[in-house]
């Protein structure tokens, strides 16, 4: 089904919102947020959350904030903030003037913490991190009260203030919520609210040496911003009672939290913690390596915002985790580029062909169609001459039965050009490698049609050797060799499944002369080869192309199997 003709998405979250609007909850407002932590680049999983949060705001005439959850100064950087903003914009969403930071609320969060201490709902604890873990208990065993749990309010206030003033070293004390060490929900066992960390922050510099924990900061940030529907992934379901507790004890505005299943995509990883390892350990060339499932990687690979948004719409929103096959993402980019990308000819692994009956001093231009899917894209001229390149794969000296392309004595069509027949195979005397084919052409077949309706079984792409431009072409395959590395045997790390063949670089490809000045980011279909995008590594006169996707639609096959 074509996405543009499809109805607006329906899912359980939109149902809830419709119901809330009907009941005039939250003054009939819809206000969502996308809350990334700036500790890495965004990936396609984040795109799902972005499309959901911004999409809902658009649909229900509400607002969506961009909020950086920046409570962890040692892992967060301005580079990530900038990259995240670029990616959200590129996907086509706009937070207008609502760019917020959890760090904007540090003062308020501190005041609220003091309020909780005064209410006897928080205390300063001197246990070390290891001791806290030990006291916490397990899923089956209850926790133990900290010996500092019943510190008088005055002492807590004094110590907390001194924590802020920097009187104590990292890790010496924490502020903890006083809830219930025996709770069946481990998140409720007196969770840490503040820790001491003498570290500079990308927004607040050296103003603070205590930092709020994510769980404490997140729910209050939502409350301060007046978020109506706080949409998050399933792993936060068990944190909801804690968020409720903080907001109830403070008696402040309370958003509604709704959890949905995160996106899992086959043959890759969607976790910043893992992606950062790939970058830092040099398994890929950077966050925007075209093999990465990051937004910046997909952009460089040649993906369009529209394809990614369509993908997010197709996968839908559910309450149960599942694994989406990478071929669906590839299907979405093909669907978008099929009609949009101009078609050109490029020879990836060139084999020289000399047309022996074509006059040496002759040259001509033939008309080629830019995209048969869209007549408005018109035609172009491609040069033809005595020496051409065709694809090595398109010739077999001893063709098997089902091979219909070029072979000794066989006639094939060159697209938009002529019928040619292979009359001789030239080999390197020492290596035996085929270096050149000698062919004849039939001048009566100009344009690729034969007047006597002679049948040929194959049509090949080609380029004219003296006119073509040399190019580098990078072919990509899955980052991982298995669909789901977490299913790995013997608890193997995901890096054990890195595909050593995820990148193949071809350095002496030949493309049509019209691509000489192709701009970085331009996308093409190379006939019979796939979709390609001009990479930023291109230099004047030598373009570099990334293969965005092949032409083979493996999704159609999977879909058929499912039906």
Indicate which residue of 29, 75, 121, 262 is catalytic. 262
Minimum gap (Å) between residue 102 Cβ and ligand ATP: 11
Specify the residue, 36 or 543, whose C-beta has the smaller distance to ligand ATP.
Answer: 36
Which residue, 193 or 269, is less far from ligand ATP as judged by CB?
A: 269
- Coil, strand, or helix at residue 453? coil
Q: How far is the CB of 53 from ligand ATP (least distance, A)?
A: 8
Residue whose token pair is 């329906």: 10
Q: Give yes or no: 176 in active site.
A: no
List, in sequence order, every residue forming a beta bridge with 52; answer none if it has no partner: none
Q: 96 Cβ partners below 8 Å, 6+ apart?
A: none
Q: Which of 178, 272, 386, 547 is catalytic?
A: 272
CA distance 214 to 495: 28
Q: In angstroms, rounded to a whole number, what is the distance separating the alpha carbons of residues 70 and 103?
A: 6
Please, what is the minimum distance in Å from the beta carbon of residue 47 to ligand ATP? 8
CB closer to ligand ATP out of 236 and 531: 236
Nearer to ligand ATP, 65 or 529 (CB): 65
The CB density around residue 253, as the number of other CB atoms within 10 Å, is 15
CA 222, CA 228: separation in Å to the nearest integer?
Answer: 8
At closest approach, how far in Å is the CB of 264 from ligand ATP? 7
| 8 Å CB contact between 380 and 368 | yes
Shortest Å distance, C-beta 90 to ligand ATP: 16
Q: Contact residues for ligand ATP (CB under 6 A)?
A: 35-37, 45-46, 48-49, 232-233, 262-263, 270-273
| Backbone angles phi and psi of 389, in degrees to 5 | -120, 140
Pick 270 or 425: Cβ nearer ligand ATP: 270
Catalytic residue among 37, 313, 335, 512: 37
The residue sitting closest to ligand ATP, measured at its beta carbon, is 45
325: closest CA among 562, 120, 514, 509? 562
Using an 8 Å Cβ cutoff, are 471 and 490 in contact?
no
The nearest distance, CB 181 to ligand ATP, in angstroms, is 27
* Cβ-based neighbours of 169, under 8 Å, separated by 6 or more: 196, 198
Task: Please say which residue, 203 or 363, places its beta carbon nearer to ligand ATP.
Answer: 203
Active site residue 429: no
216 vs 106: CA distance, rounded Å:
11
Q: How far is the CB of 300 from ligand ATP (least distance, A)?
A: 19
Report the residue number, 326 or 420, with the smaller CB distance to ligand ATP.
326
Q: What size, in residues, is the chain?
A: 563
37 included as an active-site residue: yes
Cα(382)–Cα(375) distance, integer angstroms: 18
Q: What does the DSSP 8-state code read for residue 189? A: S
Task: Return the ∠ at Cα 75 (arms to 71 and 80), rounded to 5°.
Answer: 95
Distance of CA 276 to the CA centre of its chain: 14
> Annotated active-site positions, please?
37, 262, 272
């Amino acid at each position: 089904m074509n996405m543009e003709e499809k109805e607006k998405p329906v899912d359980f979250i939109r149902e809830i919102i419709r119901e809330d609007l009907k009941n005039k909850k939250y003054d009939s407002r819809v206000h969502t947020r996308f809350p990334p932590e700036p500790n890495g680049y965004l990936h396609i999983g984040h795109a799902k959350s972005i499309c959901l949060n911004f999409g809902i705001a658009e649909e229900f005439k509400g607002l969506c904030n961009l909020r950086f959850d920046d409570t962890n100064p040692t892992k967060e950087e301005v580079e990530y903030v900038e990259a995240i903003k670029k990616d959200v914009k590129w996907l086509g969403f706009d937070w207008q003037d609502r760019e917020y930071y959890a760090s904007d609320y540090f003062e308020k969060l501190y005041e609220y913490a003091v309020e909780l201490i005064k209410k006897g709902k928080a205390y300063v604890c001197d246990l070390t991190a290891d001791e806290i873990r030990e006291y916490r208990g397990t899923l089956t065993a209850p926790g133990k009260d900290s010996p500092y749990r019943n510190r008088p309010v005055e002492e807590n206030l004094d110590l907390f203030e001194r924590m802020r003033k920097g009187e104590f070293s990292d890790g010496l004390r924490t502020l903890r919520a006083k809830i219930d060490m025996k709770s069946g929900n481990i998140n409720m066992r007196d969770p840490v609210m503040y820790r001491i960390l003498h570290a500079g922050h990308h927004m607040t510099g050296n103003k603070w040496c205590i930092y709020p924990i994510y769980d404490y900061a997140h729910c209050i940030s939502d409350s301060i911003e007046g978020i109506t529907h706080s949409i998050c992934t399933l792993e936060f379901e068990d944190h909801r009672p804690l968020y409720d507790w903080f907001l109830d004890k403070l008696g402040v505005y309370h958003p509604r939290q709704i959890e949905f299943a995160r996106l899992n995509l086959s043959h890759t990883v969607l976790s910043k913690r893992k992606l950062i390892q790939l970058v830092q350990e040099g398994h890929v060339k950077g966050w925007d390596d075209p093999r990465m499932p990051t937004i910046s990687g997909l952009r460089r690979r040649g993906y369009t915002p529209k394809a990614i948004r369509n993908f997010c719409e197709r996968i839908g929103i559910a309450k149960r985790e599942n694994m989406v096959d990478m071929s669906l993402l590839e299907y979405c980019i093909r669907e978008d580029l099929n009609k949009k990308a101009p078609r050109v000819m490029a020879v990836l692994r060139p084999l020289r062909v000399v047309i022996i009956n074509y006059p040496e001093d002759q040259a001509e231009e033939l008309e080629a169609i830019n995209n048969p899917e869209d007549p408005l894209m018109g035609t172009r001229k491609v040069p033809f001459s005595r020496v051409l390149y065709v694809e090595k794969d398109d010739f077999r000296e001893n063709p098997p039965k089902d091979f219909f392309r070029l072979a000794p004595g066989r006639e094939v069509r060159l697209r938009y050009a002529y019928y040619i027949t292979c009359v001789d195979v030239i080999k390197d005397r020492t290596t035996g490698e085929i270096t050149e084919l000698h062919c004849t052409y039939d001048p009566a077949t100009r344009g690729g049609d034969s007047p006597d309706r002679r049948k040929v079984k194959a049509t090949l792409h080609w380029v004219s050797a003296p006119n073509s431009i040399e190019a580098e072409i990078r072919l990509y395959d899955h980052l991982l060799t298995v669909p789901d590395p977490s299913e790995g045997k013997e608890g193997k790390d995901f890096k054990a499944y890195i595909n050593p063949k995820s990148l193949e670089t071809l350095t002496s490809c030949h493309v049509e002369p019209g691509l000489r000045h192709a701009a970085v980011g331009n996308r093409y279909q190379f006939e019979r080869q796939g979709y390609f995008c001009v990479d930023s590594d291109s230099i004047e006169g030598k373009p570099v192309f990334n293969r965005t996707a092949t032409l083979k639609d493996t999704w159609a096959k999977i879909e058929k199997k499912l039906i």
